[in-house]
Amino acid sequence: MQVVEDAALGDTLKSTGRLYQQGASSFAMRFTDPPEDAIVIDGRHVWVYTPSTTPGQVIRMPMETDPVYGVNLLARILDRPAERYRVTWLRADTVSGRAADVVALVPRGANVNFSRAVLWLDRDDALPRRIELEESPGVRRILTLSRLRPDTAVPPEVFEFRAPKGVRVVDQE
């Protein structure tokens, strides 16, 4: 589940679906609520299709990528955290009935698209079960992850986007 809170707009958006990540250049969020919404990164472009809020169009933009981690958000957060972040243990908690340690990460340098991250790390398998990102002033993104399957092959078509018939492609290159 994903929740995006925007204090400036007084708005909260909730969505559920599946998140797929493969390597440094393939990512997809395929939503079931709202149905048909999708964010897909195919290795060249980012496709943002949200018929629930902007019917009749899909936005296509060039894929901006981190030179080390690509679009892999989890690697960007979890790789060498002691070097890249000021890490603070906050508390023990549970997520979906699973015991977790809650830690805060504050970036030590630039080139990060969040000012603070709070992670709920599963005590049994060390996988992130919940991620809260403070992105821009007043905007907080919360991802609750379940049914995690690391190191699982993902069919390539998951990372392909084809605009539905009659949908206008808006290039932002």
- List the CATH number of the domain containing 137: 2.50.20.10
Within a 10 A sphere around the Cβ of 18, how many other Cβ atoms? Answer: 11
Read off the pLDDT of residues 51-84 as tens digits, 9 standing for 90 and up: 999 999 999 999 876 666 666 778 788 888 899 8
Residue 68, helix vs strand vs coil: coil
- Residue 147, pLDDT score: 92
Residue 153 structural domain: 2-171
Reported as type and span, the H/E element at residue 77 is helix 73-78
Q: How many folded domains does the chain comprise?
A: 1
Residue whose tokens read 């060390």? 126
- 9: phi then psi, degrees, rounded to nearest 5: -90, -10
- Is residue 23 a contact partner of residue 70, using CB atoms and an 8 Å limit? yes
- Calculate mean pLDDT across residues 122-139: 94
Distances (CA, A) of 32 to 2, 14, 48, 153, 172: 11, 11, 15, 21, 26
pLDDT at 110 over 90: no
